[in-house]
Amino acid sequence: MAVAVDVLPVHYRDGAALEAISDAVDTVNVIRGLATPTTFDAESRFDSEKDKSTFRQYDEACDRVRSFYAEQHARQTVAHNMAARERFYSPSRRRPEMTVWEAIEKLNTLIDDSDPDTELSQIQHLLQSAEAIRRDGKPRWMQLVGLIHDLGKLMLFFDGCSEGQWDVVGDTFPVGCRFDERCIYPETFAANPDSRHELYSTQHGIYQPGCGINQLLMSWGHDEYLYLVLKDQSALPPEALAMVRFHSFYPWHKEGAYREFMTEGDEMLLHAVRAFNPYDLYSKSDDVPKVDELKPYYLELIDEFFPQKIIKW
pLDDT at 42: 54
Condensed to tens digits (0 to 9), the pLDDT of residues 264-273 reads 999 999 999 9
State the binding site: 56, 112-114, 125, 149-150, 153, 170-171, 222, 247-248, 280
Helices (H) and strands (E) in the chain, counts: 11, 4
* pTM for this model (two decimals): 0.82
What is the average pLDDT score of the chain? 85
Binding residues for Fe cation: 125, 149-150, 222, 247, 280
Q: What's the pLDDT score for residue 89? A: 95
CA distance 280 to 207: 30
Bind-site residues for substrate: 56, 112-114, 153, 170-171, 247-248
Rounded to an integer, the average pLDDT of 83-104 is 95
What are the distances in angstroms from CA 44 to CA 24, 132, 159?
A: 24, 9, 39
What is the average pLDDT across 235-249?
97
Q: In 3D, which of 20, 3, 7 has the Cα closest to residue 162?
A: 7
